[in-house]
Structure 1
Amino acid sequence: MKNILLIIVGSIVIALSISFLGMPNNIADGGLIGIALLLYHAYSFSPAIVNFLGFIIIVLISLRYLSKSVLLKSSLTVVLLSFFTFLTEPYGQALADPLIGAIFYGFFMGIGFALILFAGSSIGGGSTIALVLNKKFGWNVVLFTFISDVVVVLSGIFIIGVLNTLYTIIGLFIGKLTTDYIIGGVDSKKAFNIISPKSSEIAKRVTEELASSATYIKGSGVYSNSEHSILYIIVKNYNVVKLRKIVSEVDSDAFVVVNNVKDVSGGTFFVDKDDKHQGDTETMIEHNEEIKASETTT
C-alpha cells in the first residue's frame, strides 16, 4: 500500500511538472518523456498519449526478456503518469522567464522520480530498452541509457532551439541533484572507524545513549606492530554530533575516520534503548553506491 501511494504521488508530481512547466516553457527532457515533449513542441501532440503509446510498444518488445513484476510496476506508474498528465495538459501557462521554468521543472521532476524509485518502480522508456539490450546482447545499461538520453536532449536543438535546450540541460542537472539528495539524504547515515585504548567504554556509551550497535574489528599498527581493536559504528546523521562528543569525552586523542554511507542492509546496526542485550554485531558491511539507470537523466 505504501509503495502504491508513493507511485501515485510521484506520478502526480511528474505530471504537474510536465503540464505546468515543461509544456508551456518549451522545456524538453531525456528518454520517452523527452520524446513526448519534443513532439508536443513540434506538432502539438499530447505528451500523455505519446508517452502511453510509446510505453505500450516498449512493453510488447520487453515481454520476452524482463520479469512480469518489473513490467507490472512500471506499467502502473506509466498509466497513472499518462492519466494525470492528460488531465492537467490544458492548464499550463508560460512563465516570463523560461529559465525559471526549467529550474523548477527539474526540481519537481527530481522529487517525483525519487518517490517512484523509493517504491521500486520506474517510468519506463530508455531504461527498459536498455535492460532488454543488456539481456539480449550484454550491453551496458547505464551507458546506453545515458547515450539515448543525450541523443533525445540534443535533438531538441532542431525543435526548441539552442537556448531552450541549454535550459533543459540545466533543469535535468537540477533534477538529478534533487533525486540524489532525496534518495541519499532521507535516511542517510555515517560510518565511524574509531581506534582508541578506551574503545570498550566508547562502545558502551554508544549503545546506551545513541541506540546504535557497534562492531569490533581486530587490527594491528604497522609502525607499533601492536594489536588493537577498531570500533566500527554506523549512526544516523542527526547522531553524528552526539557520537563525536562521546568520543571526545572518553578519549580526546582517539583516531577517528568518518565515511558517508549510501546503503545499509542486514545485520543489527540499531538497537532498542530498552533492550538489555547490547552486544556487538559480527556482520560485514558493504558500502554500495547504487547506480540507477533511469528513463530521464534525473
Structure 2
Amino acid sequence: MLSSYPLVKWKNLLPITLGTAIYAFGLHYFVISNELMEGGITGIALLLNYSFHLPPSATTLVINIPLFYLGWKVLGKETMLNTVIGTVSLSFFLWIMEQLIHRGWIVPFHSEHDYFLAVAYAGVTLGVGLGLVFRYGGTTGGSDIIATIGQKWLGWSMGRVILVFDCLVIGSALFFIPKEKILYTFVVVFITTKVIDIIIEGAYAARAFTVITDHAEELVAKIAEHMDRGATIIPAVGAYSKAHKNVVYCVVYRQEMKRLKDLARSVDPRAFIIINEVHDVVGEGFKPE
C-alpha cells in the first residue's frame, strides 16, 4: 500500500509530521494543563482524560479506528492514507509528550487564575501545527472524516459539519469543566483558525491591483521600470459610456502596495483603482510551483 504512495506525497510527510508534533506539544503544554477544551475527536479525548484520566494518545487513535474503516470505504485509499498518517503521527507525539511530562522533563504551563497567556499561546501553537498539516495535504482524522462523509452523503458543507460537531463536543464539556473555561476555549478556537489561515495562505499573501486607465501602456512601462513587476493589459468596454478602455492587472506584495498606488496616480490621476487581497500566489516573482 505504501509502496504506491506518490513520491511528491512522501515529500510532504516531514512538514505534516512536524505539524502534528507542534500540535501535540501545544495540546499538552497549554490546553490540557489548564483544563481547556478542543473541538472534534480531540475534544472527546480531552473529556475522557478529564473524567477518567485516560491518555489522549490512546483515545484519539481508538476513536478514529472505526472512522478510518468508514472513510476508507467512502472516501477512497489516497485520501484516507493521508488521514491515517496524520492521525497516527499525532497519537505518537501525544504519547511522547505524556512520557516527557510524566518523567518531569517537561513542566506544562499552568495558570491558576489568569488564562490569557495560556489561551493565546495555545491558539498560536495549535494553529501553527494544524496549519502545517493542512498546508501539506494531511489531516488529523476525526471531524475531518465526518465532515467529508457528510459532504459526500448529505450534501452539507464541510465547514457546517465541523462547526456543528465542534459545538456539540465543546458544549458537552459544560457538564465536566467550568463554563469560564468553555468561553476561553472558544477564544483558543478563534485564534487557532486565524493562525491556520495565515500558515496556509498568509505566507504568500499579496494584493491584486485592477487599474482602469487611458494610459495603460505607460503605466505598464512604469511598473516594469520602477518595480520590476509584470502586468497584464485587458481590453474592456465601459458599460455606460461604451468607450473602449484598457484595464491593467498587476499582483504585488503587500509592502509594495503604496508604491504601485502612487505610480498609478502619477501616470493617471483619474485612474480607477481596485485593490483585492489574494493568497498563495504562484509564479515568477512570487512562490515557485
Q: Same fold (TM over 0.5)?
A: yes
Q: 1:181 aligns with which of 180, 193, 198?
A: 198
Residue 61 of structure 1 corresponds to 70
The one-letter amino acid of 2:186's match is: I
Shift of 1:248: 2.9
Q: 1:156 aligns with which of 141, 156, 173?
A: 173
Residue 147 of structure 1 corresponds to 164
**Which structure 1 segments of 5+ residues have no match?**
273-298
The one-letter amino acid of 1:173's match is: F
Shift of 1:263: 4.9
Taking the TM superposition and a 5 Å limit, the aligned residue runs for 1:116-127 are 116-127=133-144
| Percent sequence identity over aligned pairs | 28
Shift of 1:62: 1.1
Instruction: Tell me, in whole angstroms, the C-alpha distance in 1 between the residues paired with 2:262 and 2:109.
Output: 52
The one-letter amino acid of 1:172's match is: V
Taking the TM superposition and a 5 Å limit, the aligned residue runs for 1:286-297 are none
Matched, 1:95 2:111: yes
Q: Secondary structure at the match of 2:204?
A: coil
Residue 80 of structure 1 corresponds to 89
Q: Is the 8 A contact 1:22 1:28 kept in 2?
A: yes
Shift of 1:163: 1.3
Residue 5 of structure 2 corresponds to none
Taking the TM superposition and a 5 Å limit, the aligned residue runs for 1:1-298 are 2-89=11-98, 90=101, 91=106, 92-96=108-112, 97-264=114-281, 270=284
Instruction: Tell me, in whole angstroms, the C-alpha distance in 2 between the residues paired with 1:249 and 1:84.
Output: 56
Cα RMSD, aligned residues only: 2.1
Shift of 1:30: 0.3
Number of residue pairs the alignment of both structures matches: 269
**Which structure 2 segments of 5+ residues have no match?**
1-9
Q: Is the 8 A contact 2:135 2:199 kept in 1?
A: no
| TM-score using structure 2 length | 0.86
Instruction: Tell me, in whole angstroms, the C-alpha distance in 2 between the residues paired with 1:238 and 1:70.
Output: 38
Instruction: Tell me, in whole angstroms, the C-alpha distance in 2 between the residues paired with 1:211 and 1:36.
Output: 53
Instruction: Tell me, in whole angstroms, the C-alpha distance in 2 between the residues paired with 1:139 and 1:221.
Output: 40
Q: Secondary structure at the match of 2:96?
A: helix
Instruction: Tell me, in whole angstroms, the C-alpha distance in 1 between the residues paired with 2:77 and 2:51.
Output: 35
Q: Secondary structure at the match of 2:34?
A: coil
Q: Secondary structure at the match of 2:208?
A: strand
Residue 290 of structure 1 corresponds to none
Show CA shifts across 1:28-56 (max 9, x none).
10001111111111111101111111222
Residue 288 of structure 1 corresponds to none
| TM-score using structure 1 length | 0.83
Q: Secondary structure at the match of 1:81?
A: helix
